[in-house]
Amino acid sequence: MVSQDEIDIVLTRLEQLMPPTVKLMVGGSGPYSKEELLNEIKENTEIGKLVVESQMLYLRSFRNKEILETIRPKVAAIR
Amino acid sequence: MPKLLCSMPNFDTVTHYLHEWSKKIVEDAKMRGFDVYPLDGPNATKQNFESRLNKNNPKFVFLNGHGDPNMVCGHKGSDGTPQPILINNVNDGLMKNRIVYARACKSLETLGRNCVEKGATAYIGYAERFMVLFDPVRYSRPLGDKIAESFMEISNIIPSVLVKGGTVKEAVERSFQQFLKNVEYQEAHYTSETPLILSCLIHDMAALGAIGNPDAKVT
């Protein structure tokens, strides 16, 4: 679940920071240019939400590096 | 002699990048004495996949392509859409006694778990979509795309560790350690791409996981 505040933060960041020369592949969707990605976020699509969530996780990890430890991949042991 | 089956569809941007980076693993495995069965491009079909499994019985199955909770796809069909090669509750039982690494979206939690419940030794995959930032100028030479390299290198470590004799647990841990190194590198070499690269790297790492025997080895 992403809030409007988070959407606004990520839109502002990407508008200012994302270079127009790169594209993003999101699984079988895309690739997305900067403008296309911004539209996905504005329209609150599944892809837009994923990008907002990943940006917010990154911003939180920027302030607190311990967050990176929480995403250490799990091995669910079933023998 | 250890055996590797590697599906390498190649028909759109995503599969093109996965295809080119998979070549490194195929070559590495050959150098290490593996019998390698690549399902390259249009040969990455369900029929060829099942035929190779039954005929050659590879212990390590490395899948590249599009995916969802119930399937991993190979090459495109005549209608242009990705065609499934490993399907939940259809041919997932064929993964019995094998270690699977699916570099594909969303297949870990449902398909992966069912494969293991039906006898797969382990299934390494992603619970979410796999994100890759790339430089379109480098499309014809993905191995020279420094932006995409950050993503592909981390995911290539998993099959690389396995063909070198590492365990499933070691493979995902080494991938995580490389992720941490890449984060440090990106922060120390900050460019305009850095914020998006880092957010996507974090997303991919958060989606990675494994189910099955953590101590299992391919060799």
DSSP state letters, B131-176: EEEE-GGGTT-GGG-HHHHHHHHHHHHHHHHHHTT-BHHHHHHHHH
Q: A79: nearest CA in chain B? A: B213
Contact of A1 with chain B, judged by CB distance below 8 Å, is answered with: no
Q: What is the pLDDT along chain B (219 residues), one digit of tens a residue?
A: 899 999 999 999 999 999 999 999 999 999 999 999 999 999 999 999 999 999 999 999 999 999 999 999 999 999 999 999 999 999 999 999 999 999 999 999 999 999 999 999 999 999 999 999 999 999 999 999 999 999 999 999 999 999 999 999 999 999 999 999 999 999 899 988 998 999 999 999 999 999 999 999 998
Q: Say yes or no: ipTM exceeds 0.90.
A: yes
Q: Is the pTM of this model over 0.90?
A: yes
- Mapping DSSP to helix (H, G, I), strand (E, B) and coil, where does residue B80 land? coil
CB contacts, 8 Å: B66 with chain A:
27-28
Cα B49 from Cα B61, distance rounded (Å): 10
Domains of chain B plus CATH, in order, are 3-212 (3.40.50.1460)
pLDDT at site A62: 78
Contact of B96 with chain A, judged by CB distance below 8 Å, is answered with: no
Cβ burial of B8 (10 Å; 0-12, 13-18, 19+) is buried
- Bridge-based pairing state of the strands B3-8 and B99-103: unpaired
CA distance B67 to chain A (A): 8
CB contacts, 8 Å: A28 with chain B:
14, 66, 82, 105
C-beta atoms of B133 and A17 within 8 A: no
- The residues facing B5 across adjacent strands are B37, B61
C-beta atoms of A30 and B13 within 8 A: yes
pLDDT at site A66: 86
- Best A2, A22, A53 member to test B by mutation, with max B CBs in 10 Å, is A22
DSSP state letters, B14-33: HHHHHHHHHHHHHHHHHHTT
pLDDT at site B92: 98
pLDDT at site A79: 66
